[in-house]
Structure 1
Amino acid sequence: MTMAFDGQRVLVTGAAQGIGRAIARHFAAQGASVFAADLDLAGAEATAQAAGPHCVAHRLDVTDRVAMRALVHSLGVLDVLVHCAGGVCGQVGRPLEDVTEADWRSIFAVNTDGAFWACQAAAPGMKARRRGRIVLIASGAGLGISLTGIQAYASAKAAEIGLARQLGHELGPFGITVNAVAPGFVRSNPSTEAQWQALGEERQAQLVQGIAMRRLGQPDDIAHAVLFLASEQAGWICGQVLQVDGGR
């Protein structure tokens, strides 16, 4: 099965590292014009360099609705939107009574709010063309629990999955598919590496033994799933969440 994206315009948020970088790189390799957006402009530029001439870096704070709308407007009508920006904002697991309002809201802002602002900005152009693909990068934590015990992260990713389902029904009549990918544990950036090290050798071994494939995921594993959901071959898949976790 060949998945080609020649001439398609693809926006990837959270593209400065890890999974977002892999997604941008794979789309560019398949002929897409890729816009790699991230608050970390230097990281996004490194992604663009790795992806080649068909990828351009942009600075973007996904929590800023006005900035999101301005960027999408400047790019023209998108064929594909991938919201990969997110994460735990440097937080660690704590008892719920120790979580501050600011900490709770910061995780929702980048994960759930950012996903909504991105979809809201991209949808009008896609609706006018009656075609589009939206893929939200959620997490296995949104379907189960956060391995690190971060309540806001599990909640925000569950909300992101719910958003994909809801928007799939709203935008499907316009020829737009909306789906979510829920990765398992992937050591893809400094935050996930710190989480991995904090587990300790015993819990690391237990985690791997709980995976059917007996290995952790790689950013490319997630990118392959995203490209499939964005492809013509996935044109009748909408409002779904695809777990890419090696079998849990």
Structure 2
Amino acid sequence: MKLDFTGQTVIVTGGAHGFGRAIAHAFAQDGAAVWVCDTNAEGLGETARLARQDGLKVETRTVDVGDGAAVQAFVQEVTVATGRLDVLVNNAGGVLGQVGRPLEEVSPEDWRAIFRVNVDGAFLFAQAAAPKMKRQGRGRIINISSGAGLGVSLTGIQAYASAKAAQIGLTRQLAHELGPFGITVNNVAPGFVRSNPATERQWESYGALGQEQLLNGIALKRLGSPQDIASAVLFFASEQAGWITGQVLSVDGGK
């Protein structure tokens, strides 16, 4: 199935590495004008450099997804520059360097920080993108959650599992609100993928036995890649998914 996004404008949040970088490059390869944001300026530079190396172009901006004014300004810049906004991928998230701790040791600040990037960011970007998509009569919003939002988190971080579950709830609610305007809202829930420094540290922490146990719990007996996640996102963004909304697709090798 050949996907073509020529003439379309795509925003990808959290594009400094991992899933976001793979998603941004995949859209660029299929003809889209891609705008990527993150708070990691160095990582954004590498995303742009690797794109140029492959003959592609992505625009990058340093944006804090939890800052409503910054989000509105970025979306405004994109729509003024391109005249449209077809796809929004809310990929920014993660655990912000936190590790699993007993419930009584988690501060309110740490709890809120994870919600800010994983849930607030998705809400603020959808809020900023919706008016333009409504005027177009068409749009695609794809949120990147986690298997943790459908079950429990391998990290043991309470806020992460809760935030990803909240993001899935937001996906379903927005699908019903925005559907009458031709906008679909879907969710990709990745399994464990070694995609960034945090997941590399997590993988190493399991040790040989823990790694073997994790793999044995996957039907396909192997880990996936960021490209596997990008493929699911591009499908949801495509015309082939035009009558699919409010759905969560687990891309986890089978559980």
TM-score of the superposed pair, with normalisation by structure 1: 0.98
Opposite residue 58 of structure 1, the aligned amino acid is R
Determine whether 1:230 maps to 2:233: no
Structure 1: how far apart are the matches of 2:177 and 2:51?
33
**2:46 aligned residue:** 46
**2:95 aligned residue:** 88
Structure 2: how far apart are the matches of 1:138 and 1:201?
27
User: Which piece of structure 1 moves more, 51-60 or 124-133?
Assistant: 51-60
Structure 2: how far apart are the matches of 1:189 and 1:46?
13
**Residue in structure 2 matching 1:129, options 124, 128, 136:** 136
Opposite residue 235 of structure 1, the aligned amino acid is G
- 5 Å-filtered alignment, 1:18-37, equals 18-37=18-37
Measure how far apart 1:145 and its partner are: 0.3
Opposite residue 208 of structure 2, the aligned amino acid is E
Structure 1: how far apart are the matches of 2:204 and 2:68?
35
Measure how far apart 1:195 and its partner are: 1.0
Name the Cα RMSD after superposition.
Answer: 0.8
Structure 2: how far apart are the matches of 1:216 and 1:202?
15
Structure 1: how far apart are the matches of 2:240 and 2:32?
16
Aligned partner of residue 71 in structure 1, secondary structure: helix
Structure 2: how far apart are the matches of 1:3 and 1:243?
21
Contact persistence 1:32–1:54 (CA under 8 A): no
Structure 2: how far apart are the matches of 1:49 and 1:134?
26
TM-score of the superposed pair, with normalisation by structure 2: 0.96
Structure 1: how far apart are the matches of 2:164 and 2:68?
19
**2:253 aligned residue:** 246
User: Which piece of structure 1 moves more, 47-56 or 78-87?
Assistant: 47-56
Aligned partner of residue 85 in structure 1, secondary structure: coil
For 1:198-248, what per-residue CA distance to the aligned partner results, in whole angstroms no more than 9, with x for missing partners? 122211110100001111110000000000000000000100000000001
Structure 1: how far apart are the matches of 2:50 and 2:122?
25
Structure 1: how far apart are the matches of 2:22 and 2:49?
12
Measure how far apart 1:43 and its partner are: 1.1
Measure how far apart 1:54 and its partner are: 2.9
**Residue in structure 1 matching 2:63, options 60, 82, 101:** 60
Structure 1: how far apart are the matches of 2:85 and 2:48?
18
Structure 1: how far apart are the matches of 2:97 and 2:27?
29
Measure how far apart 1:41 and its partner are: 1.7
Aligned partner of residue 193 in structure 2, secondary structure: coil
**1:79 aligned residue:** 86
Aligned partner of residue 187 in structure 1, secondary structure: coil
Opposite residue 45 of structure 1, the aligned amino acid is G
Structure 1: how far apart are the matches of 2:239 and 2:99?
40
- Structure 1 residue runs of 5 or longer lacking an equivalent are none
For 1:51-83, what per-residue CA distance to the aligned partner results, in whole angstroms no more than 9, with x for missing partners? 234311111100101100010011103100001
**1:184 aligned residue:** 191
Measure how far apart 1:193 and its partner are: 0.8
Measure how far apart 1:2 and its partner are: 1.2
Measure how far apart 1:152 and its partner are: 0.2
Contact persistence 1:107–1:152 (CA under 8 A): yes
User: Which piece of structure 1 moves more, 155-164 or 40-49?
Assistant: 40-49
